[in-house]
């Protein structure tokens, strides 16, 4: 079967997962998470798996290594004879720590896979399994970049950043970028204007990423960027749409006179209404999902440079962390599609397009009916179109433009 799939184009599975909450309740959540991830691998039978994680372990680094060991030894990955795992355990260095993890698994039947050495500036054959858990700046097979501190002045020691890897198969080469952008710190601030100040900060940071991975140090290649973008809905527009006829009551703190919460009521007889506080939004949002897609607008700024397949799954965040509540959202934030898989136009051309009833491309979430932590992992499965585009001029040798 693997040979047949390879002949049709190597199956590629890209997965992004914010796993921070898994380490809060490892006894219940990690087992379920691993099972659902492995079921996704078994269902699609890819030959190359790329798993990008955010908020890995932190000071509970030993737990993250246990998680990786279980993943490497799972039955779903037993035929993946080669692996590259990169975890940042350098949490004691606030200037360097990223909390990102990149895991790449290659099936034994997939030939001619190479990974780029950014220091030597050449591709190297991928052999065996390696786990790199040292400080990631020393890893030649990754490019790491932290955002300038003034991008996120609210965060004293930001762990938000990107990790970039580069692989080649046959005559094709592509970049895989793991990213984690800044969240909305306050619902009240996010509501103040459209688009929000947080949206502008993420836009600036994503522009930084785009410039970084397409600069002149290396040959420009198709790229996939997948991680926790923390994209949020346009809160002001959402609330005005849902509460178009509501009256607004402003409640201020008795001590500071600062706005403590906003209450939107459709009528004087409405006992509940919609409350907005810095960290709490009531459950009026929780009954609407895909209808909110029209307010998902942060990516539109990059529509000429970044592409995404149509979304048909519910918002990936913020789900309840109660292991018995697989579909329930928390009422801390308006549900949003934070976890995404984006690509350049040239990367989009690498996806084999369906020509029959067989579903060759899937963009979906993992574990829709069970608790996977506060984020549902999101995945993209496709077959690699080996006839797309032209091989780069040096064939597996990236050039440096002086």
* C-alpha distances out from residue 162 to 92, 136, 320, Å: 19, 11, 27
Inter-helix orientation angle 61-72/26-44, to 10°: 30
CA trace torsion 182, 185, 190, 195 (10° rounding)? -10
Asked if residue 262 belongs to a domain, the reply is: no
* Residues linked to residue 50 through DSSP beta bridges, in sequence order: 14, 104
- Please answer whether residues 59 and 91 qualify as being in contact, where contact means their C-beta atoms are separated by less than 8 angstroms: yes
What does the block give as tokens for 387? 């006839």
Nearest CA-CA partner of 104 in 18, 30, 178? 178
Q: How far is CA 285 from the centre of its chain?
A: 23
Residue 372 CA to residue 17 CA, distance in Å, equals 9
C-alpha 59: how far from chain center: 21
Distance of CA 25 to the CA centre of its chain: 21
pTM for this structure?
A: 0.86
Q: Which residues contact 255 (CB under 8 A, 6 or more apart)?
A: none
Looking up residue 352, the CATH number of its domain turns out to be 3.60.10.10
d(CA 95, CA 93): 5
pLDDT in tens, 221-270: 999 999 999 999 998 888 887 776 666 667 777 777 776 676 666 666 55
SS3 241: helix
Q: Would you say residue 178 lies in a domain?
A: yes
- Total domains, the chain: 1
Q: With respect to residue 129, please indicate whether it lies within any of the assigned structural domains.
A: yes
Q: Report the C-alpha gap between 395 and 401 in whole angstroms.
A: 16
Residue 264 inside a domain? The answer is no
pLDDT digit string (tens) for the chain, length 402 residues: 444 434 457 899 999 999 988 877 777 888 899 999 999 999 999 999 999 999 887 555 566 666 777 888 889 999 999 999 998 766 666 666 678 889 999 999 999 899 999 999 999 999 999 988 765 656 789 998 877 766 665 654 455 678 999 999 988 999 999 999 988 988 888 888 999 999 999 999 999 999 999 998 899 999 999 999 999 999 888 888 777 666 666 777 777 777 667 666 666 655 555 556 555 554 444 445 667 899 999 999 999 999 999 999 999 999 999 988 898 888 788 889 999 999 999 999 999 876 654 568 999 999 999 999 999 999 999 998 876 654 554 444 443 322
Q: Is residue 326 part of a domain?
A: yes
- Residue where the block lists tokens 């140090």: 217
Question: Dihedral through CA 57, CA 54, CA 320, CA 249, nearest 10?
Answer: 120
304 DSSP β-pair partners: none
Radius of gyration of the chain (CA): 22
Residue 166's domain spans which residues?
2-232+286-383
**Distance between CA 36 and CA 50 in Å, rounded?**
16
Rounded Cα–Cα distance for residues 314 and 292 (Å): 10
User: Domain for residue 25, yes or no?
Assistant: yes
Whether 165 is covered by a domain: the verdict is yes
Cis peptide before 262 (omega within 30 of 0): no
Q: What is the largest CA-CA distance in the chain?
A: 72
In a domain, 105, yes or no: yes
């Amino acid at each position: 079967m693997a040979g047949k799939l390879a002949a049709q184009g190597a199956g590629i599975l890209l997965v992004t997962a914010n796993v921070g909450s898994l380490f809060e309740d490892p006894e219940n959540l990690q087992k379920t998470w691993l099972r659902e991830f492995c079921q996704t691998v078994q269902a699609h039978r890819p030959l190359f798996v790329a798993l990008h994680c955010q908020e890995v372990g932190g000071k509970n680094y030993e737990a993250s290594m246990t998680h990786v060991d279980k993943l490497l030894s799972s039955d779903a990955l037993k035929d993946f004879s080669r692996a590259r795992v990169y975890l940042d355990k350098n949490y004691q260095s606030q200037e360097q720590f990223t909390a990102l993890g990149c895991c790449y698994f290659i099936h034994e039947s997939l030939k001619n896979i190479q990974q780029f050495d950014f220091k030597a500036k050449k591709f190297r054959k991928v052999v065996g399994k390696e786990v790199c858990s040292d400080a990631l700046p020393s890893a030649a097979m990754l490019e790491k970049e932290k955002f300038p501190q003034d991008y996120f002045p609210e965060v004293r020691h930001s762990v938000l950043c990107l990790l970039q890897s580069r692989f080649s198969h046959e005559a094709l080469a592509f970049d895989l970028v793991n990213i984690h952008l800044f969240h909305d710190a306050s619902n009240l601030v996010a509501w103040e204007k459209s688009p929000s100040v947080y949206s502008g900060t993420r836009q600036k940071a994503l522009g930084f990423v785009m410039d970084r991975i397409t600069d002149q140090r290396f040959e420009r290649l198709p790229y996939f960027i997948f991680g926790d973008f923390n994209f949020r809905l346009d809160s002001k527009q959402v609330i005005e749409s849902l509460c178009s006829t509501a009256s607004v009551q402003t409640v201020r703190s008795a001590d500071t006179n600062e706005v403590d919460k906003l209450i939107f009521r459709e009528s004087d007889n409405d006992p509940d209404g919609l409350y907005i506080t810095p960290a709490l939004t009531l459950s009026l949002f929780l009954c609407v999902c895909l209808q909110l897609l029209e307010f998902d607008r942060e990516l539109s700024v990059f529509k000429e440079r970044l592409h995404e397949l149509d979304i048909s799954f519910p918002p990936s965040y913020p789900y309840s962390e109660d292991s018995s509540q697989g579909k329930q959202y928390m009422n801390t934030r308006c549900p949003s599609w934070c976890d995404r898989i984006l690509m350049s136009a040239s990367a989009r051309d690498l996806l084999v397009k369906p020509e029959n009833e067989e579903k060759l491309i899937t963009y979906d979430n993992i574990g829709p009916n069970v608790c996977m932590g506060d984020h549902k992992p999101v995945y993209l499965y496709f077959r690699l179109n080996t006839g797309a585009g032209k091989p780069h001029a040096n064939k597996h040798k990236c050039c440096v433009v002086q």
